[in-house]
C-alpha cells in the first residue's frame, strides 16, 4: 500500500490562502512551521515529499490555528459519497499499513478476532491510536453489495459474540446459542456490530466469572455507545474496499483525541458502575444462560 500522505501539498496551498495575506506574513508562517521558503514551495508544488519533522511542523501549525484538516477531509468524503450505496470508513493504524491489507492476521484486544477493522467516523479511529507517536489515519470506502453480512445490535448475542472471540466462554462453546453465533460470524464476509470499549473488559470478565448477570453486563458495556464497526473477514470483502486518503496524524491533533479519550473512558466506567447497580439481581448469570449445553433457548 502506498503510504504517502496525499494531502500535504493541498494543505500548504490552503494555509497560503488563509494565513499569508501580506508578503510579510509568510516569514512568521515559515518560522512556526520550521520550514525554509524553498521547502515550502517544493512541498506545495509536489516536488518534495515531506519527512516526519516537516509534516509535524505543517500539520501542527494548522491545528494550532484551528484548521482541523483531517476532519475537513473526512467531511468532504462523506459529502462526496452520501448519495451512493457506499460506506465512508476510518481506520487508525499504530504504524503505517505495510503491503497488502490482510484479513487473516490476529488483532490485539479485538471484539471479533482476526479481520480488518474499519469504523464509522474519524474521531473513533483517532482515539484508538492517539497514544502512539507513529500512528496515522486512513479513510476507506466500502460497498457491502453482494456480500454476506453478520449484523449485531446491542443485545445479549452481541455480548456473547465478544465473549467468544475473546476466549471468555470456551467452557460453553458447544452450547447451541454460542454455536449459532459462531456459525453466523464464520460464514459471513463481514461483521457489522457495536464497538465494546476495551476499558470495559473487566466488566465482561465479571459476567463470565459469575459476578454479574447478563443484563448488568449488557447495559454496562453498551452504556457509552461508541458507534459501529465493520470487520472484514474474507478476501471477497476486501475486494469491495477502496483507499481514499492516508492522513497525517500530528501531535497537536493527538492531544485533542487523547483528551477526548479520557472523557469517554471515565464516562464509560461511571455508566458501567451505574448499570451494574441499577440492574442488580436482574437477568441471568452465565451458568443460568449457558449452563446446559443441550438447551438452545
Work out the percent of the chain whose per-residue pLDDT is above 70. Answer: 91
Q: How many CB atoms lie within 10 A of CB 87?
A: 19
Of 52, 67, 82, the residue at which a domain comes to its end is: 67
Residues 156 and 219 in one domain: yes
Q: Are 121 and 230 within 8 A, CB to CB?
A: no
d(CA 210, CA 41): 64
Q: Which three cell numbers stand for residue 25?
A: 506574513
Task: Evaluate whether residue 247 is within a structural domain.
Answer: yes
Among 150, 123, 127, 155, CA closest to 139: 123
The pLDDT of residue 293 is 53
For every residue of 79-148, which 3-state class applies, written as one string?
A: HHHCCCCCEEEEEEECCCCCCCCCCCCCCCCCCCCCCEEEECCHHHHHHHHCCCCCCEEEEEEECCCCCC
Q: Which domain holds residue 276?
A: 68-290
Question: Domain tally for the chain?
Answer: 2
Task: Give the pLDDT confidence of 231-288 residue by residue, as tens digits.
Answer: 999 999 999 999 999 999 999 999 888 776 666 667 767 777 787 788 888 999 999 9
Task: Evaluate whether residue 147 is within a structural domain.
Answer: yes
Of 50, 67, 84, the residue at which a domain comes to its end is: 67
Q: Which three cell numbers stand for residue 87?
A: 460506506
Residue 297 pLDDT greater than 50, yes or no: no
d(CA 265, CA 13): 37
Residues 41 and 154 in one domain: no
Taken as a whole, the chain contains a residue count of: 297
Task: Give the pLDDT confidence of 55-108 residue by residue, as tens digits.
Answer: 999 999 999 999 999 999 999 999 999 877 899 999 999 888 888 899 988 776
Record the pTM.
0.89
Residues 274 and 197 in one domain: yes
Work out the percent of the chain whose per-residue pLDDT is above 90. Answer: 61
Amino acid at each position: 500500500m502506498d503510504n504517502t500522505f496525499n494531502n500535504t501539498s493541498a494543505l500548504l496551498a490552503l494555509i497560503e490562502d488563509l494565513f499569508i495575506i501580506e508578503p510579510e506574513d509568510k516569514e512568521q508562517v515559515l518560522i512556526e512551521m520550521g520550514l525554509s521558503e524553498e521547502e515550502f514551495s517544493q512541498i506545495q508544488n509536489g516536488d518534495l515529499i515531506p519527512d516526519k519533522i516537516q509534516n509535524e511542523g505543517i500539520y501542527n501549525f494548522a491545528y494550532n490555528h484551528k484548521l482541523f484538516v483531517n476532519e475537513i477531509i473526512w467531511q468532504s468524503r462523506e459529502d462526496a459519497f452520501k448519495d451512493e450505496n457506499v460506506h465512508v470508513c476510518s481506520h487508525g493504524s499504530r504504524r503505517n499499513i505495510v503491503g497488502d491489507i490482510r484479513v487473516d492476521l490476529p488483532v490485539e484486544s479485538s471484539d471479533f478476532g482476526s479481520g480488518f477493522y474499519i469504523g464509522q467516523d474519524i474521531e473513533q479511529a483517532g482515539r484508538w491510536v492517539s497514544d502512539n507517536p507513529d500512528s496515522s489515519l486512513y479513510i476507506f470506502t466500502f460497498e457491502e453489495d453482494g456480500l454476506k453480512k453478520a449484523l449485531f445490535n446491542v443485545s445479549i448475542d452481541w455480548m456473547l459474540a465478544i465473549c467468544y472471540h475473546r476466549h471468555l466462554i470456551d467452557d460453553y462453546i458447544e452450547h447451541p446459542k454460542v454455536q449459532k453465533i459462531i456459525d453466523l460470524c464464520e460464514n459471513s464476509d463481514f461483521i457489522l456490530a457495536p464497538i465494546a470499549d476495551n476499558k470495559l473488559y473487566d466488566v465482561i470478565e465479571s459476567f463470565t466469572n459469575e459476578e454479574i448477570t447478563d443484563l448488568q453486563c449488557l447495559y454496562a458495556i453498551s452504556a457509552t455507545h461508541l458507534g459501529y464497526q465493520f470487520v472484514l473477514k474474507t478476501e471477497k470483502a476486501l475486494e469491495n474496499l477502496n483507499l481514499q486518503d492516508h492522513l497525517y496524524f500530528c501531535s497537536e491533533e493527538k492531544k485533542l483525541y487523547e483528551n477526548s479519550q479520557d472523557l469517554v473512558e471515565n464516562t464509560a466506567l461511571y455508566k458501567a458502575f451505574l448499570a451494574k447497580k441499577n440492574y442488580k439481581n436482574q437477568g441471568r448469570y452465565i451458568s443460568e444462560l449457558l449452563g446446559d449445553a443441550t438447551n438452545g433457548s
